[in-house]
């Protein structure tokens, strides 16, 4: 009888170990929650993140949420159940994750917001991104230089687009660009014929190309029947794609209707081809390899119980707290430097942008 009891105890202990082993304190499982596969940049971000973390010795659970908030919440909850010790989240809606993050906090799981700040939750531990205000500044500075505004050139007709209103980054991009361009708007060198500058007027839900195309169609019909638009401030490449489609349909790309100066962000392959063709002027390059490397450093510090590297503890208030952040520095690509920046660095092959 004693032998049977002893045997049963051993079995119970073995079963307990088997059931809890994946979520033990020794777990090296990291969750990565990406918003969608529909944009090239998130595919690259997810792939880079997974590769870098696996190189560092971690097991990675990578999920894409098809831009569905409920799906992303469910995926994060599954990562918690699986025993992930750190979860990296590029949110779809940065205000919709409070419940899932509270659950993670109860399990002592650390959350790193990736590129998009997660708002309205105290359970966001760190934020890894590029300097988003600087993104807008660089776009504004490019417009100033390309048009020769500092030399007094102008006036030029300009229209402004904003990103998705549920993405906190959209407001930083817009502020950086508009703060930079405002002196030239005020003195009349840049004329916004639509007078549409507020985010409520210019935002494109979901960063959708078709939304940008529809708005550009409306602007051209309403305000540019007898004049050309000379510059379009677009915060990213998916919007730029829709803007270019609209411009082409309206006859831009000819000698009497040249393409306007057009900004972007992400250096998607489609847009790099547009740079080469002269349809888009520039695109902010945020090297996902740099950001992935930084996130791996942050994850490793968390897992080792060490001080997590950050370089900004003031800027990113999510409505509840200022989230300690690491800001990587963006640069821009245009027709003059894209080869060195994107091909020679190994980010793309030449075949990908031909």
pLDDT at 26: 61
Asked whether the beta carbons of 180 and 144 are under 8 A apart, the reply is: yes
Gap between the Cα atoms of 261 and 280, Å rounded: 7
User: 160 with 260, same domain?
Assistant: yes
For the domain that residue 35 is a member of, what is the CATH number? 3.40.50.2300
**Which is it for strands 325-328 and 59-64: parallel, antiparallel or unpaired?**
unpaired
pLDDT in tens, 61-84: 999 999 999 999 999 999 999 999
159 and 295, same domain (yes or no): no
Are 232 and 181 contained in the same domain?
A: yes
Q: What is the pLDDT of residue 41?
A: 82
340 belongs to a structural domain: no
In a domain, 348, yes or no: no
Q: What is the pLDDT of residues 220-277, one digit of tens each?
A: 999 999 999 999 999 999 999 999 999 999 999 999 999 999 999 999 999 999 999 9
Strand partners, 191: 157
- pTM of the predicted protein model: 0.81
CB 244 within 8 A of CB 229: no
Nearest alpha-carbon partner for 88 in 104, 69, 68, 70: 104
In a domain, 347, yes or no: no
The total of structural domains in the chain comes to 2
Task: Quote the domain boundaries for residue 146.
Answer: 132-286
Q: How confident is the model at residue 1 (pLDDT cuts 50, 70, 90)?
A: low
Percent of the chain with pLDDT over 70: 93
Q: Mind listing the pLDDT tens digit for each residue in 2-34?
A: 555 455 444 444 444 344 433 444 679 999 999
* Burial class of 251 by CB neighbour count within 10 A (0 to 12, 13 to 18, 19+): exposed
CA nearest 202: which of 237, 172, 234? Answer: 234
Residue 352 within any structural domain of the chain? no
């Amino acid at each position: 009888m004693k032998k049977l009891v002893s045997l049963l105890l051993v079995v119970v202990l073995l079963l307990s170990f088997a059931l809890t082993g994946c979520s033990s304190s020794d777990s090296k499982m990291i969750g990565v929650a990406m918003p969608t596969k529909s944009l090239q940049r998130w595919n690259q971000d997810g792939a880079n993140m997974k590769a870098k973390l696996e190189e560092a010795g971690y097991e990675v659970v990578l999920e894409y949420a098809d831009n569905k908030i409920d799906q992303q919440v469910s995926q994060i909850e599954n990562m918690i159940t699986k025993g992930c010790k750190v979860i990296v989240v590029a949110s779809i809606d940065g205000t919709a994750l409070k419940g899932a993050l509270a659950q993670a906090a109860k399990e002592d799981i650390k959350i790193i917001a990736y590129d998009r700040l997660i708002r309205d939750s105290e359970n966001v531990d760190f934020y890894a991104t590029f300097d988003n205000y600087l993104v807008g500044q660089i776009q504004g500075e490019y417009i100033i230089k390309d048009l020769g505004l500092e030399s007094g050139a102008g006036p030029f007709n300009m229209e402004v687009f904003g990103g998705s209103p549920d993405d906190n980054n959209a407001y930083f991009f817009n502020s950086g660009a508009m703060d930079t361009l405002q002196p030239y708007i005020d003195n009349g060198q840049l004329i916004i014929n639509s007078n549409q500058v507020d985010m409520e007027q210019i935002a494109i839900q979901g960063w959708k190309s078709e939304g940008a195309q529809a708005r550009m169609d409306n602007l051209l019909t309403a305000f540019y029947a007898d004049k050309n638009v000379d510059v379009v401030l677009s915060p990213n490449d998916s919007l730029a794609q829709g803007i270019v489609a609209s411009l082409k349909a309206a006859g831009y790309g000819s000698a009497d209707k040249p393409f306007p100066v057009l900004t972007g962000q992400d250096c998607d392959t489609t847009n790099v081809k547009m740079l080469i063709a002269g349809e888009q002027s520039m695109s902010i390059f945020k090297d996902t390899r740099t950001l992935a490397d930084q996130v791996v450093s942050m994850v490793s510090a968390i897992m080792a119980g060490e001080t997590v590297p950050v370089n900004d503890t003031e800027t990113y208030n999510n409505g509840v707290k200022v989230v300690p952040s690491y800001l990587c520095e963006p640069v821009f690509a245009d027709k003059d430097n894209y080869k060195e920046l994107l091909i020679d660095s190994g980010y793309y092959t030449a075949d990908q942008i031909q």
